[in-house]
């Protein structure tokens, strides 16, 4: 969103400073599989303000800044859930999440984030034992099964390859939705050059990627060689895709 690629490194520091804004995010792997992210005031404030400035809002309020930081954090953790799912070869999603007053006694790692021309920012990250255990069990269970599954499905894939090849050539319409609204006919008639139509989505929310009238992903708008594009940040789950069709 800002057009700047920050430098991110993990480091080891002393005690966690007081006054952190802690966010606890649970994952669908296990009720206790969660991650904590702590941000000092200067970190979440700078991240939220930078994104708001990139959206053209020069003097955002504190609640808007905090909400923007929360949205960025939620999208980042959704990407983490997808990465965990890819590693375990199963669908993993973010479940309950919210601000926490404190963090349990777990090892914490500080992540240093440096934007060009800005001071160094710090985010503290901790993973629960249940999340580590789920990763270890999942990797151990899937590693031995992968080869057997590939051999068993090899003949089926060969039989379906011709049909699949035909389907892969089907062209589908792809569109990007910035938001929606409803207007009365009398208001539509009044629209002229320069009129502004307010949508139902804030500047901090991701846009929707729609394929064949079905929302399949969400992401951020980017500009590539003078053309608009969308950087995919989250693939929509199967259940959510079905809801968008209903």
Position 143 in a domain: no
Identify any residues that bridge with 228 across adjacent strands, giving them in sequence order: 223
Domain termination residue (choose one: 135, 151, 179): 135
Total tally of structural domains belonging to the chain: 2
The pLDDT value given to residue 211: 85
The pLDDT value given to residue 200: 86
The pLDDT value given to residue 148: 45
* E strand segments, 30-158: 34-39, 94-100, 108-114, 121-127
Please tell me which residue, 146 or 90, carries the higher pLDDT value. Answer: 90
Q: What CATH number does the domain containing 62 carry?
A: 3.40.1550.10
Please tell me which residue, 149 or 102, carries the higher pLDDT value. Answer: 102
Position 161 in a domain: no
Q: What CATH number does the domain containing 236 carry?
A: 2.30.330.10
175-229, pLDDT tens digit by residue?
Answer: 898 888 898 988 888 889 989 998 888 888 889 998 877 888 999 988 888 888 9
Neighbours of 240 (CB within 10 A): 14
Question: What would the mean pLDDT of 157-161 be, rounded to a whole number?
Answer: 48
Position 191 in a domain: yes
Is the predicted pLDDT of residue 66 greater than 60, yes or no? Answer: yes
Same domain? For 186 and 231 the reply is: yes
Contact 63, 46 (CB under 8 A): no
- Sort 198 into a burial class: Cβ within 10 Å, 0-12 / 13-18 / 19+: exposed
Distance CA 54, CA 1 (A): 7
Position 154 in a domain: no
23-33, pLDDT tens digit by residue?
Answer: 999 998 888 88
Helix (H, G, I), strand (E, B) or coil at 76: helix
DSSP per-residue string spanning 145-201? HHHHHHHHHHHHHHHHHHHHHHHHT----EEEE-------HHHHHT--TT-----SS
pTM: 0.55
Q: Which two tokens mark 174?
A: 């792809």
Domain termination residue (choose one: 86, 108, 135): 135
Neighbours of 48 (CB within 10 A): 25
- Which of 53, 92, 93, 47 minimizes the C-alpha distance to 70? 47
Is the predicted pLDDT of residue 157 greater than 50, yes or no? Answer: no
Q: 25: domain range?
A: 7-135
Is the predicted pLDDT of residue 240 greater than 50, yes or no? Answer: yes
Any idea which residue has 């609640």 for tokens? 63
How many residues does this entry show for the chain?
246
Helix (H, G, I), strand (E, B) or coil at 74: helix
Contact 83, 138 (CB under 8 A): no
Same domain? For 201 and 100 the reply is: no
Same domain? For 43 and 98 the reply is: yes
Same domain? For 13 and 115 the reply is: yes
Q: How confident is the model at residue 147 (pLDDT cuts 50, 70, 90)?
A: very low
Same domain? For 103 and 185 the reply is: no
């Amino acid at each position: 969103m800002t057009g700047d690629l920050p430098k991110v490194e993990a480091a080891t520091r002393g005690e966690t400073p007081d006054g952190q804004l802690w966010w606890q995010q649970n994952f669908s792997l296990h009720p206790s599989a969660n991650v904590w992210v702590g941000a000092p005031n200067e970190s979440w404030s700078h991240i939220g303000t930078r994104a708001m400035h990139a959206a053209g809002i020069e003097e955002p309020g504190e609640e808007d800044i905090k909400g923007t930081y929360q949205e960025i954090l939620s999208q980042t953790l959704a990407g983490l859930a997808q990465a965990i799912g890819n590693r375990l070869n199963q669908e993993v999603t973010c479940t309950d999440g919210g601000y926490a007053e404190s963090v349990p006694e777990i090892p914490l790692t500080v992540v240093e984030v440096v934007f060009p021309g800005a001071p160094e920012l710090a985010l503290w990250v901790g993973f629960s034992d249940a999340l580590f255990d789920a990763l270890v069990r999942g990797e151990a269970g899937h590693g031995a099964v992968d080869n057997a599954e590939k051999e068993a499905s090899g003949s089926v894939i060969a039989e379906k390859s011709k049909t699949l090849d035909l389907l892969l050539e089907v062209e589908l319409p792809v569109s990007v939705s910035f938001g929606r609204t409803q207007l009365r006919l009398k208001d539509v008639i009044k629209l002229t050059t320069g009129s502004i139509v307010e949508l139902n989505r804030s500047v901090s929310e991701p846009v929707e990627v729609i394929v064949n009238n079905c929302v399949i992903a969400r992401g951020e708008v980017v500009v590539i060689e003078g053309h608009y594009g969308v950087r995919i940040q989250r693939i929509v789950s199967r259940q959510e895709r079905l809801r968008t069709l209903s």
